[in-house]
Amino acid sequence: MKLSALQQSYLNRRNNSFRGSGPLDSSSDSAIKSPAAVFWLVLHGLCCLISLVLGFRFSRLVFFFIFSTSTTTTNFYTTPFRNVANDLATTVLSSTPVVRSNVEVPVVNKTTPNSNSRVVVGRHGIRIRPWPHPNPTEVMKAHKIIERVQREQRAHFGVKNPRTMIVVTPTYVRTFQTLHLTGVMHSLMLVPYDLVWIVVEAGGVTNETASLISKSKLRTIHVGIDQKMPISWEGRHKLEAKMRLRALRAVREEKLDGIVMFADDSNMHSMELFDEIQNVKWFGAVSIGILPLSGNQDESSSATMEKEDGAMPIQGPACNSSNNLAGWHTFNSLPYAGKSATYIDERATVLPRKLEWAGFVLNSRLLWKEAVDKPEWVNDLDLLDGVEDIESPLSLLKDHSMVEPLGSCGRQVLLWWLRVEARADSKFPAGWIIDPPLEITVPSKRTPWPDAPPELPSHEKTVVSVQEHIVKHTPKARSSRSKRSSRSKRKHEAKVIDTQVSARNSEKN
């Protein structure tokens, strides 16, 4: 009975709901047919179409501009951005220490607080900053903060206890010395460690080389050798080996403690090299990229060499699967057979002579006569004095297997070897200073200045010469005197005439 009563009540409520929906539907139909409802429906559809084209809620924006004033629009867009900027400023100031000083800093291009410094594009605001920065002190603070952050990153993630870099560079005065030595000098100036630069010069110490290396502001040791540099590449290799040994003796005499690296003036170094060689314990080696192709070669010869061996020649240590030194990698020199240069001024490819010194680094304590924990597999430096031809620093070692491969076990090329030289008899200005000035070989058709030089101002005319001063100013003095005398004569004559006229008038009376 109860179940039937519940079913009967449910059916009655359902019938009542359907009966009551009639007038609602009729009213909705009548509302839709009204012109006002049709107008707003069409307007809304139009706004929806425009919003699809423009990409943001255009209908809301139109409604906002119609039913709001200009003051509310400015407050609507500027207030949220100002609040965000103020919040960011307060958080930055609270997290960073404030440095107070009594000195007032002048502000450049200071904008008034009432000026509008933001542009609204859609729903995003763009803040306009004056340039340059209104406060130069803040700019310097930013640079100091960046420098401090880099220093802290280097201290935490870099080398913990860096050692001094001892760089050995053989050189001599020639046409391309300034070109090569300037590149090496600027690379050494960027090294973030203590550095000692030993420059060994063939033909004795010259003022030109001394003035060039003095611009680096580095600690330098300038040593000279009386022997001049020969014009053949083989003789140059031998003399450069003697020059490097002379620098190693200077390291032993001065007892310089650090890492010795051989940087020729024609090498190009990566900054990662100076970080990598800090990991060496006693004796290490890195890979070198050889750039043997010369721009003076014929196109046919360079094309044949590229076809025969297109890979970049690389020289350096070779490791096995366990990352231990297994041997040495040298490039194939057969494509350059008969095309390599014998003399320095030849138009041919310059090849390295076996293993280059620039690919090796060593601990300076290996050169000392008395050093703590000095290994036994190192030869004494005095034993190399009588040797005429020293091919590489491997002559210092009794066991070559003790070399430590650096740069991901020789897989990274951290420096490049390039020998480009001019003729031995080529003339170049001393210090690359053009004095006297060059002659005009191609005249300019149009110049921004007039043909005749402008006249000097009056205060600069007197600084010409003493004779011109006398010649120019004597007629001026005479002319001024003559003008004064003529004026005095006129005044005197006028006075005489006045006296005569006054005398006649008195006689008549």
* φ/ψ of residue 132, rounded to 5: -75, 175
Q: Is 362 helix (H, G, I), strand (E, B) or coil?
A: strand
Give residue 354's region: left, alpha or beta (phi > 0; psi -120 to 50): left
Burial class (CB in 10 A: 0-12, 13-18, 19+), 500: exposed
The residue among 297, 287, 303 whose CA lies nearest residue 340 is 297
From CA 397, how far away is CA 378, in angstroms rounded? 5
Quote the pLDDT of residue 293. 60
What averages of pLDDT result for each successive group of 10 residues across the chain (509 residues)? 56 54 47 77 85 63 62 43 45 44 44 51 65 76 91 84 94 91 94 94 93 93 93 89 93 94 93 93 93 55 44 85 87 75 81 86 91 86 78 87 90 89 81 83 72 60 44 46 59 64 61
Quote the pLDDT of residue 61. 65
pTM: predicted TM-score of the whole model, two decimal places: 0.60
Quote the pLDDT of residue 331. 76
Quote the pLDDT of residue 346. 80
By DSSP bridging, strand 165-171 and strand 259-262 are: parallel
Quote the pLDDT of residue 240. 92
The residue among 198, 180, 358 whose CA lies nearest residue 262 is 358
Quote the pLDDT of residue 148. 92
Structure tokens that stand for 240 in this block:
């450069």
Quote the pLDDT of residue 59. 59
